[in-house]
Chain A
Amino acid sequence: MENQDTKTKKKTTKKTEVNSTKSVAKGAKKASSTTKKTTTRTTTTKKATTKKAPAKKTATKSTTKTTRNSKNTNSTKSKSTSKKSNVEKKSKDFIIEYYDLPYRYNQTIVKILAQTPTTLFVYWDISDEDRQNYINSYGEDFFNYTKPYLIVHNITKNTSYEIEINDFANSWYLRTEEPDCKYEILLGRRKIKNLNDTTIPQNFIYVTSSNKLDTPNNHILLENVFSNSPVTFKNVKTNSISHSTYGNLKFMPNMSKLYNTHKFYESIYKEELFIYNNHHTISNPSSSY
Chain B
Amino acid sequence: MAEQPEPSSNGSKLLRTLGVESTMRIDPWWGLVVLVIILIVVLCVVSADPFWNMLRFVSDGILITVIITVSSFVLVLVLGLFGGLGRLSQNRFIYALATVYVEIVRGIPLLVQLIWWYYAFPAVIKEVGNSLGIQVLADYQANPIAMAIVGMTVCYGAYMSEIYRAGIQSIPRGQMEAARSLGMTRFQAMRHIILPQAIRVVLPPVGNEFIALLKDSSLVSVVAVTDLTRRGREYMSTHFNPIETWTMVALVYLVMTLLSARGVAWIEKRSKFER
Is chain B a partner of chain A in the same complex? no
Q: Which residues of A contact B (CB under 8 A)?
A: none
Q: Which residues of B contact A (CB under 8 A)?
A: none
